[in-house]
Chain A
Amino acid sequence: MTEKKEYKVIGTRPIRHDGVDKVTGRALYGADFQMTGLLHGRVLRSPHAHARIVSIDTSRAEAYPGVKGVATAQDLPDAEDRIADLGEGAVNLKYLCDNILASDKVLYQGHAVAAVAATSPHIAEEACTLIDVEYEVLPPVLEVRQAMEADAPLLHETLKTTSMGETADEPSNVASHIQHQLGDPEKGFAEADIVVERDFVTGTVHQGYIEPHNATAHFNQDGQLTIWCSTQGAFTVREQVAEILQYPISKIKVVPMEIGGGFGGKISVYIKPVAALLAKKTGKPVKVLMNRADVFEGTGPTPASYVRVKMGATKEGKITAAEAYLAFEGGAYPGAPVGPGAMCIFAPYNIENVVIDGYDVVVNKPKTAPYRAPGAPNAAFGSETVVDELAEKLGIDPLEFRLLNGAKEGDRRADGPVHPRIGCIETVETAKAHPHYTAPNGQKHHGRGVASGYWFNIGLESSVTINVNSDGTINLIEGSTDIGGTRSSIAMQAAEVLGIPAESVNPSVVDTNSVGYTAVTGGSRTTYATGYAAYEAAQDVKRKMIARAAKLWEVDEANVQFADGEFSCINGKEEQISFRDLCGRLGQTGGPVVGSGTVNPGGAGGAYATHIVDVAVDEETGKVEILRYTAVQDAGRAIHPSYVEGQIQGGAVQGIGWALNEEYIYNDEGTMTNASFLDYRMPTCLDLPMIDAVIVEVPNPGHPYGVRGVGEVPIVPPMAAIANAIYDAIGIRMTELPMSPDRLLKAMGKI
């Protein structure tokens, strides 16, 4: 580990800037938004998983008292098969538009078909029942392997598989095939003394953010469109709405309200363009709110998947080769996170011979959306279970086995990149030394498991502006929606540069007209990249303030130094002034000081985690209880350790839910039967022990303070760690998620 620098603000735990407003209920969320003349929108959704729309008759709804407008796909600009680049890669515009309001076909139960604006939400709801849609129902396909069959029902007549640059002739549900190869896998497996190969299946799971999607849209008389909404990225909303409505971005302002969770699920737009369409049609502001069933049925979950993993090792414990087959459901349109899954699957290990095949497959379920390290948990469930089995068969402690093979700086990932300085080994060493790992755990049907995980993190663009106030405080203007305490973690980086307390920074998350372009709060990038921009903006302020001190003292700028919040004169005069006092003298030294910072950094630095879990299995009911959980993670540098711990705990908990009970349950017609928090079973506080979050700090060379993103990697290890613990408890390898009581009973031969 590199030597730890001393900081004044970084690493402390100040009260978050938005904390009081949030705990007192004063913070304004999208659903709180009110405006004179506001209309209420409601979306009509498809009851069928797969059907052709024969006709839509809105006349009865339009005639209903209180209804002010009805919108269908007819109101969207003609999309055709154009490709748009929305920052997160190329997107087929027809798919994008059809997911907002279906034009020719509905591709999942819950697919939006039409929308109503009315004077009350109840009238809008009632009017939706008066829209007559005639469907020609088609057979649905709900599972990735079935969708890949040659005779499977086709979702898109024009979709053809692209495979490494080639496009197939015949239409298929397989949108794409990717492959990464390193070394000579055949040779690697030949060198192995032991080979383990297993198949895995994972369920469709939702992010489960507490706040449903919401949007209010309003067109001014001059055509300026404003959208107030809950989003992970106001600028990506602007881009998507501009593309879908074919409207200039300069005429769209997006105001991000407070956000009640997103986890990746609030990057794609759903009802925002619908609210805009209805606002345009009615000339009034229109507010659209989803309920929980809308969220489950109409927004992107993370995909179900089929994963096959084969790994070989020598009897000394060296992994010689690895092979993976990843088939992920994209939902109704292409876009499964199979690429990230392939990037992450073997990343905790240095393996010379690897081949990974990935498939993005459409099925009759909602189009998938990112969810915390999208793709990586599906993949790691397979690979980390196989690693555990290899270690077991070789008689090597599973953490020792990880140390023997652990990835280090300079090792190459199967998809190409060479690792910079990473903390993989450090998380394993820390887990191994943790008292949890050696605590007694000998009771019948109790088991312990471990697993590691990787997420690459991203950089992307961020902008920050700092306005210096005369009382020595600064107003920090940023565009990153604050989901996990990032106002504080960003503000603290500026405070550190300027030698002021965190409390002297007033951070604001503002609309798209009021700050430079900033990419989404996602990819674990916000504290890293927007924090980096805040660092740069603070450096800009510092430079300008040095110039002011020089002017005040009539010396050359080179003769002013700044340390610990004090400007002082070197070479000659005995002058000194604090940052605060100099702030009070800006008027007489040239006027206001504004600093800005913009970044698009490349050195996000990947994050690693290693988790330890103890479980108890009720052998009569198949229920798994989590007894103890320790999550070790490399944070690079924890700016605000409380929120790093919060991210680690949250990720682990969502992983526990994914492992044990969460899944979309469908009937044969393709209708989701558990679209509520009652039957979509996320863990509650009574289902969880305190998650012991252990922060390891291996500074990221790609950030001035060594920050690595922390939000995503903690969801990667839990499923395999729990599966490995269940194996330790009852001697059965669980290979299907969730590992729910009925599946355990089946696996134990009880039913």
Chain B
Amino acid sequence: MQDFSYVAAQTLSEAVALLDENGEKARILAGGTDLIVNVREGRRDVDLMIDVKSVPEVNVLDYDANTGLTLGAAVECYKIYAVDAICDAYPGLIDATKIIGGTAIQGRAGVGGNLCNASPAADCIPPLIVLNTTCVIAGPNGERELPVEQFCTAPGQTALENGEMLVSLKIPAPASNSSSFYLRFIPRNEMDIAVVGAGASVTLDDAKETIVSARIALAAVAPTPLFAEEASTLLAGREVSDAAIDDAAQAAQAIARPISDMRGTAEQRTHLVGVLTRRALNGAIQRIRD
């Protein structure tokens, strides 16, 4: 393992200044469940780790039924699913936080870190996309916001500019008659990284028969997690039916650009996009109706 320096930043401005000064070889350390492993295995070259666990802004966990959720970038998974109101409001995000690593990892790993690691297979990103999440980013020139589906740009690469860091995620309050769902396919029942992941959020009309709106997002089928825009919009106004869901599944399959690797073949992944999209949509609809 290479040598590196470590600083525990106390304020957001200190963290941003350190990032700005040290350039690409400085990395933010929150849970460290990806970063430390990557450094140890030589997959990331890091000279400076900036620990932000003491920075107040990245530890905010604030949910309000009217304004929604502000989720600090360093908040660990276990803190999120410990709040019943958050579990009720964003079940699709909770699905993801409960399958990342195991219980011990969930005590360290957070949603923000999962996003910044920018793995195409990240479990938390599809739920964030379907929940219309906005990223709050701090940098040398102040704060800016970015829709989460634009955050990842390539495997391990993000839209963060030099000196910028993720501060928090803002998720709007859920509409009435809405719910969300995330699932992944793995060959075992734990320990695996998604071969394919699919998230869906659905809003139904008051009769719970017609889809008002839906959002679908996919993991592990492209260089970044994907917002399946066409598959999402074609559902608006459709009655809940196998035909509508199949149409969405096919549209989702159409945008998948998977590769074959040790986790699965391209054909398998394309097939699974259809299966998991159907299951995610049906799962979200079932949650609304339950």
Residues of A in contact with B (beta carbons under 8 Å apart)? 122, 125-126, 620-623, 660-661, 665, 673-674, 677-679, 681, 683-684, 686-687, 740-742, 745, 750-751
User: Counting CB contacts under 8 A, is B206 at the interface?
Assistant: no
Do residues A674 and B262 form an inter-chain contact, with CB atoms below 8 A? yes
Do residues A684 and B191 form an inter-chain contact, with CB atoms below 8 A? yes
| A621-B185, A665-B262, A681-B187 as given contacts; A741 in contact with B268, CB under 8 Å | yes
Do residues A678 and B190 form an inter-chain contact, with CB atoms below 8 A? no
Do residues A687 and B189 form an inter-chain contact, with CB atoms below 8 A? yes
| A665-B262, A673-B262 as given contacts; A742 in contact with B188, CB under 8 Å | no
Do residues B187 and A686 form an inter-chain contact, with CB atoms below 8 A? no
Which one of A620, A740, A751 contacts B267 once the chains associate, using CB atoms below 8 Å?
A751
Known: A623-B187, A679-B263, A741-B195. 17 other contacts (CB 8 A): A620-B275, A621-B275, A660-B187, A665-B262, A673-B261, A677-B191, A678-B191, A678-B192, A679-B262, A681-B188, A683-B188, A686-B189, A687-B188, A741-B187, A745-B271, A751-B265, A751-B268
Do residues A661 and B271 form an inter-chain contact, with CB atoms below 8 A? no
User: Counting CB contacts under 8 A, is B193 at the interface?
Assistant: yes
Cα separation A719 to B193 with both chains bound (whole Å): 25
- Collect the chain A residues with CB atoms within 8 Å of residue B265's CB: 742, 751
Cα separation A687 to B191 with both chains bound (whole Å): 11
Within residues 175 to 202 of chain B, which ones have a CB less than 8 A from any CB in chain A?
A: 185, 187-193, 195
Cα separation A665 to B260 with both chains bound (whole Å): 12
User: Counting CB contacts under 8 A, is B264 at the interface?
Assistant: yes
Cα separation A620 to B270 with both chains bound (whole Å): 12
Q: Which residue of B lies closest to A744 (CB)?
A: B268
Kindly name the residue among A660, A684, A742 whose own CB sees the greatest number of chain B CB atoms within 10 A: A742
Do residues B268 and A742 form an inter-chain contact, with CB atoms below 8 A? yes
Within residues 234 to 283 of chain B, which ones have a CB less than 8 A from any CB in chain A?
A: 261-265, 267-268, 270-272, 275
Q: Which residue of B lies closest to A742 (CB)?
A: B268
- Collect the chain B residues with CB atoms within 8 Å of residue A751's CB: 265, 267-268, 270-271
| A620-B275, A750-B271 as given contacts; A686 in contact with B264, CB under 8 Å | no
Q: List 11 A-B contacts (CB under 8 A).
A: A621-B275, A622-B268, A623-B187, A679-B193, A681-B188, A687-B188, A741-B264, A742-B268, A751-B268, A751-B270, A751-B271
Cα separation A740 to B3 with both chains bound (whole Å): 41
User: Counting CB contacts under 8 A, is B82 at the interface?
Assistant: no
Cα separation A660 to B192 with both chains bound (whole Å): 14
Do residues A661 and B187 form an inter-chain contact, with CB atoms below 8 A? yes
Q: Which residue of B lies closest to A740 (CB)?
A: B187
Cα separation A503 to B264 with both chains bound (whole Å): 52
Within residues 81 to 103 of chain B, which ones have a CB less than 8 A from any CB in chain A?
A: none
Q: From residue B133, how far is it (CB to closest CB) to chain A in Å?
A: 27
Q: From residue B164, how far is it (CB to closest CB) to chain A in Å?
A: 30
Total number of B residues with any Cβ neighbor in A under 8 Å: 23
Residues of B in contact with A (beta carbons under 8 Å apart)? 1-3, 185, 187-193, 195, 261-265, 267-268, 270-272, 275
Closest 8 A-B residue pairs measured CB to CB?
A686-B189, A674-B262, A742-B268, A751-B267, A673-B262, A665-B262, A620-B275, A751-B271
Q: From residue B71, how far is it (CB to closest CB) to chain A in Å?
A: 27
| A621-B275, A679-B262 as given contacts; A684 in contact with B187, CB under 8 Å | no
Specify the main secondary structure of chain A where it touches its partner.
Answer: loop
Cα separation A188 to B3 with both chains bound (whole Å): 70
Cα separation A126 to B263 with both chains bound (whole Å): 30
- Collect the chain B residues with CB atoms within 8 Å of residue A678's CB: 191-193
- Collect the chain A residues with CB atoms within 8 Å of residue B187's CB: 623, 660-661, 681, 740-741
- Collect the chain B residues with CB atoms within 8 Å of residue A687's CB: 188-190
Q: From residue A709, how far is it (CB to closest CB) to chain B in Å?
A: 30
Do residues B271 and A684 form an inter-chain contact, with CB atoms below 8 A? no
Cα separation A122 to B3 with both chains bound (whole Å): 9
Q: Which residue of B lies closest to A688 (CB)?
A: B189
Do residues A745 and B191 form an inter-chain contact, with CB atoms below 8 A? no
**Interchain pairs with CB closer than 8 A, number:** 59
Q: From residue B39, how far is it (CB to closest CB) to chain A in Å?
A: 12
Q: From residue A641, how far is it (CB to closest CB) to chain B in Å?
A: 30
Cα separation A220 to B217 with both chains bound (whole Å): 65
Cα separation A660 to B189 with both chains bound (whole Å): 13
Cα separation A125 to B41 with both chains bound (whole Å): 11
Do residues B190 and A745 form an inter-chain contact, with CB atoms below 8 A? no
Cα separation A751 to B273 with both chains bound (whole Å): 12
- Collect the chain B residues with CB atoms within 8 Å of residue A122's CB: 1-3
- Collect the chain B residues with CB atoms within 8 Å of residue A622's CB: 268
- Collect the chain B residues with CB atoms within 8 Å of residue A125's CB: 1
Q: Which residue of B lies closest to A661 (CB)?
A: B187
Q: From residue B87, how far is it (CB to closest CB) to chain A in Å?
A: 22
- Collect the chain A residues with CB atoms within 8 Å of residue B271's CB: 745, 750-751
Cα separation A122 to B190 with both chains bound (whole Å): 32
Do residues A684 and B268 form an inter-chain contact, with CB atoms below 8 A? no
Do residues B188 and A745 form an inter-chain contact, with CB atoms below 8 A? no
Do residues B261 and A661 form an inter-chain contact, with CB atoms below 8 A? no
Cα separation A265 to B193 with both chains bound (whole Å): 28
Q: From residue A115, how far is it (CB to closest CB) to chain B in Å?
A: 19
Kindly name the residue among A621, A661, A665, A673 whose own CB sees the greatest number of chain B CB atoms within 10 A: A621
Do residues B262 and A684 form an inter-chain contact, with CB atoms below 8 A? no
- Collect the chain B residues with CB atoms within 8 Å of residue A660's CB: 187
Cα separation A686 to B271 with both chains bound (whole Å): 25
Do residues B189 and A745 form an inter-chain contact, with CB atoms below 8 A? no
- Collect the chain A residues with CB atoms within 8 Å of residue B188's CB: 661, 681, 683-684, 686-687
- Collect the chain A residues with CB atoms within 8 Å of residue B268's CB: 622, 741-742, 745, 751
- Collect the chain A residues with CB atoms within 8 Å of residue B1's CB: 122, 125
Kindly name the residue among B2, B263, B268, B270 whose own CB sees the greatest number of chain A CB atoms within 10 A: B268
Q: From residue B222, how far is it (CB to closest CB) to chain A in Å?
A: 18
- Collect the chain A residues with CB atoms within 8 Å of residue B275's CB: 620-621
- Collect the chain A residues with CB atoms within 8 Å of residue B2's CB: 122, 126
Q: Which residue of A lies closest to B270 (CB)?
A: A751
- Collect the chain B residues with CB atoms within 8 Å of residue A677's CB: 191
Kindly name the residue among B3, B191, B267, B275 whose own CB sees the greatest number of chain A CB atoms within 10 A: B191
Q: From residue A109, how far is it (CB to closest CB) to chain B in Å?
A: 14
- Collect the chain A residues with CB atoms within 8 Å of residue B3's CB: 122
- Collect the chain A residues with CB atoms within 8 Å of residue B193's CB: 678-679
- Collect the chain A residues with CB atoms within 8 Å of residue B272's CB: 621
- Collect the chain B residues with CB atoms within 8 Å of residue A661's CB: 187-188
- Collect the chain B residues with CB atoms within 8 Å of residue A126's CB: 2
Cα separation A750 to B195 with both chains bound (whole Å): 17
Cα separation A661 to B275 with both chains bound (whole Å): 21
- Collect the chain A residues with CB atoms within 8 Å of residue B192's CB: 678, 681
Cα separation A684 to B188 with both chains bound (whole Å): 8
- Collect the chain A residues with CB atoms within 8 Å of residue B191's CB: 677-678, 681, 684
Cα separation A741 to B184 with both chains bound (whole Å): 14
Cα separation A122 to B189 with both chains bound (whole Å): 35
Q: From residue A657, how far is it (CB to closest CB) to chain B in Å?
A: 9
Q: Which residue of B lies closest to A683 (CB)?
A: B188
Cα separation A660 to B261 with both chains bound (whole Å): 18
Cα separation A125 to B267 with both chains bound (whole Å): 39
Cα separation A750 to B253 with both chains bound (whole Å): 14
Q: Which residue of B lies closest to A125 (CB)?
A: B1
- Collect the chain A residues with CB atoms within 8 Å of residue B262's CB: 665, 673-674, 679
Cα separation A678 to B185 with both chains bound (whole Å): 15
Q: From residue A742, how far is it (CB to closest CB) to chain B in Å?
A: 4
Q: Which residue of A lies closest to B189 (CB)?
A: A686
Cα separation A674 to B191 with both chains bound (whole Å): 14
Q: From residue B246, how far is it (CB to closest CB) to chain A in Å?
A: 13
- Collect the chain B residues with CB atoms within 8 Å of residue A620's CB: 275
- Collect the chain B residues with CB atoms within 8 Å of residue A679's CB: 193, 262-263
Cα separation A620 to B275 with both chains bound (whole Å): 7
Q: From residue A111, how far is it (CB to closest CB) to chain B in Å?
A: 20
Q: From residue B264, how far is it (CB to closest CB) to chain A in Å?
A: 6
Q: From residue B30, how far is it (CB to closest CB) to chain A in Å?
A: 21
Do residues A686 and B190 form an inter-chain contact, with CB atoms below 8 A? yes
- Collect the chain B residues with CB atoms within 8 Å of residue A674's CB: 262
- Collect the chain A residues with CB atoms within 8 Å of residue B195's CB: 741
Q: Which residue of A lies closest to B271 (CB)?
A: A751
Q: Which residue of A lies closest to B190 (CB)?
A: A686
